[in-house]
Amino acid sequence: MFKKITKKEVQALEKRLSYHRRLVWDELSPGDREKVWKTAEDYKSFLNASKTERETIFEISRRLTLAGFKEVDHSGSKGRVFQVWKDKVLALAILGKEPLSRGMQIIVSHVDAPRLDLKQHPLYEEADLAFFKTHYYGGIKKYQWLARPLALHGTILTAENKKINLAIGEKEQDPVFSVADLLPHLARKVQMEKKLSEAIEGEKLNILVGSTPIGPIETKERFKLATLRYLHEHYGLIEEDLISAELELVPAEPARDVGLDRGIVGAYGQDDRACVFSALKAAIEVEKPGRTVVILFYDKEEVGSEGNTSARARILEGFLPRLFSLKGETLSPQILDVTLTASRAISADVAGALDPDYPEVHEKRNAPRLGCGLCLTKFTGSGGKIGSSDAHAEYVYWIRRLFNQKGIIWQTGEMGKVDEGGGGTIAKFLAALGLEIVDCGTPVLSMHSPFELVSKADLYMTYKGYKAFLRAS
Ligand code: MN
Ligand code: MN
């Protein structure tokens, strides 16, 4: 006979069987809550020091050196080492007690972010003003870069082979730069009636750099010459030096707290520096791990991981033999294969969080939310998982069990509705080496904008989750 189920039994069933997304804020102990705020303060200073890929690598090296890590070829490293390539890629390792062939715990992330790069012939004048021409880097919405203060960062080699690292526009007394936007009164035909993707042309992203001429004297290009004179007087540059230079325009503001309760960090470049910071902090705190820990910070992710500083370059292949020799273990092609196959990795990249103003692009059951913790993403890609490294069930199980055991508040999420768009990460390039890898990172609102938003609670869980991963045996 059919037995009537009680309300209490339904509740018990619900509790036992159903999955519930959890809010980090609901689960934090008072001690952890304190650590959330403290971690965010350190994070903001990390972001302020790390506006470009080179500055990020420099800041990581600085923090590692302070924490007692040594360059890999340095003697007396005590098993905590790092190596830098071309000032744009860094690998660190903490040698474990077990042999390398038992496998490593690896986290990979990227240090580059979308921005405006100067062209090689950047400087020109028009209508009594001097400008720099740019070519944008990575996926930007061009309108977001108009009419806002920008800072100029980069590296220049002078004709005398002197290397100059620039950063103009970050200190309060510094000048800033700007792309002027058209007044609304005249924008109707050339901007407003066009599609958003066509309204702002790439060739109109020109940076106002000067407005005072040389003179008064009859000569061509007095404004351009005044800019060159300034660059020569202050940095010893001639125009040809700009051809080899790497100069980048990034938003000039420092990281800020967002909201009355200050629960969110607003800043440029949090894709992927939220994960970079979390992985670095976790690694620095790991002592004497069982399995060897390796963290890789790559460049050029935002342009498809092309070039010799990207995740497609043979960085790990160059780094691993050094670890074998540091540990005094023999390396052969077979042992390398065994080591990689036995290794576990996290592709530490941010996840696009559910935007409450645009629910139509998300599939709300499978979209990550701000405040619900570290986001585990089984697969990325677009239009049929194309371009994705789809993590295996066994590995996703292993990592979810680890997070649960260690009290990590995590969620799962994919980027947008099926066929809405999508995007990939560097997971697939590492997966090609044979290791297990899954995407796992911090949810971000306003991703790829000049002012990205990250929950301090999620940042803290990212760090805690990575640390639990690095310590796992
Ligand atoms: Mn990213
Ligand atoms: Mn990105």
Q: Which of 102, 17, 110, 16 lies closest to 57, judged by CA? A: 110
CATH number of the domain residue 135 falls in: 2.30.250.10
pLDDT value, residue 51? 98
Are both 221 and 92 inside the same structural domain?
no
Q: Are 396 and 438 spatial neighbours (Cβ–Cβ below 8 Å)?
A: yes
Q: What is the pLDDT of residues 376-412, one digit of tens each?
A: 999 998 889 998 899 999 999 999 999 999 999 999 9
Are both 120 and 108 inside the same structural domain?
no
Q: For residue 375, with 0-12 CB atoms within 10 Å meaning exposed, 13-18 middle and 19 or more buried, which class applies? A: buried
CA of 302 to the centre of ligand 2 (A): 5
Q: Alpha-carbon distance 7 to 173, whole Å?
A: 66
Note whether residue 2 is domain-resident: no
Note whether residue 467 is domain-resident: yes
Ligand nearest to the CA of 449: 2
Are both 121 and 100 inside the same structural domain?
no
Are both 179 and 245 inside the same structural domain?
yes
Are both 64 and 129 inside the same structural domain?
no
CA of 67 to the centre of ligand 2 (A): 29
CA of 236 to the centre of ligand 1 (A): 36
**Token pair recorded at residue 257:** 């707290």
Residue 104 forms beta bridges with which residues?
292
Ligand nearest to the CA of 139: 2
DSSP conformation class of 391? -
CA of 291 to the centre of ligand 2 (A): 30
Ligand nearest to the CA of 302: 2
Ligand nearest to the CA of 351: 1
CA of 209 to the centre of ligand 1 (A): 30
Are both 455 and 363 inside the same structural domain?
yes
CA of 11 to the centre of ligand 2 (A): 42
DSSP conformation class of 312? T
Residue 96 forms beta bridges with which residues?
none
CA of 109 to the centre of ligand 1 (A): 8
77 band by pLDDT with thresholds 50, 70 and 90: confident
pLDDT value, residue 247? 98
Ligand nearest to the CA of 448: 2
Structural domain boundaries, residue 166: 115-251
Note whether residue 455 is domain-resident: yes
Alpha carbon 320 to chain centroid, angstroms: 24
Are both 142 and 220 inside the same structural domain?
yes
Neighbour tally for 307: CB within 10 Å: 13
CA of 357 to the centre of ligand 2 (A): 21
Output the CA torsion 438→86→449→201 (10° steps): -120
Q: What is the mean pLDDT of residues 325-336?
A: 95
Ligand nearest to the CA of 115: 2
User: What residue has token string 């990592």?
Assistant: 399
Give the chain's mean pLDDT.
Answer: 96
CA of 426 to the centre of ligand 1 (A): 9
Note whether residue 302 is domain-resident: yes
Q: Which of 2, 5, 28 lies closest to 464, judged by CA? A: 28
Are both 390 and 368 inside the same structural domain?
yes
CA of 341 to the centre of ligand 2 (A): 28
pLDDT value, residue 221? 95
Q: Looking at 251, 281, 308, which one is the last position of a domain?
A: 251
pLDDT value, residue 219? 87
Q: Looking at 223, 251, 279, which one is the last position of a domain?
A: 251
Q: Alpha-carbon distance 442 to 278, whole Å?
A: 9
Note whether residue 182 is domain-resident: yes
CA of 26 to the centre of ligand 2 (A): 29
CA of 352 to the centre of ligand 1 (A): 10
Ligand nearest to the CA of 425: 1
- Cα angle, residue 148 at apex, residues 146 and 150 outer, rounded to 5°: 105
CA of 271 to the centre of ligand 2 (A): 6
Ligand nearest to the CA of 109: 1
Phi, psi values for residue 198, rounded to 5°: -110, -10
Q: What is the mean pLDDT of residues 355-362?
A: 95
Note whether residue 256 is domain-resident: no
pLDDT value, residue 218? 87
Note whether residue 3 is domain-resident: no
Are both 465 and 320 inside the same structural domain?
yes
Are both 291 and 434 inside the same structural domain?
yes
Q: Examine the pLDDT at 1 and tell me if it is beyond 70.
A: no
pLDDT value, residue 115? 98
CATH number of the domain residue 94 falls in: 3.40.630.10
The contacts of residue 245 (CB under 8 Å, 6+ apart) are 118, 154, 155, 156, 157
The contacts of residue 19 (CB under 8 Å, 6+ apart) are none
CA of 113 to the centre of ligand 2 (A): 7
Residues above pLDDT 90, as percent of the chain: 93
Are both 169 and 294 inside the same structural domain?
no
Are both 220 and 284 inside the same structural domain?
no
Q: What is the mean pLDDT of residues 108-127?
A: 98
Q: Which of 260, 249, 292, 303 lies closest to 426, judged by CA? A: 303
Q: Looking at 251, 285, 318, which one is the last position of a domain?
A: 251
CA of 448 to the centre of ligand 1 (A): 9
Note whether residue 296 is domain-resident: yes
Total domain count, the chain:
2
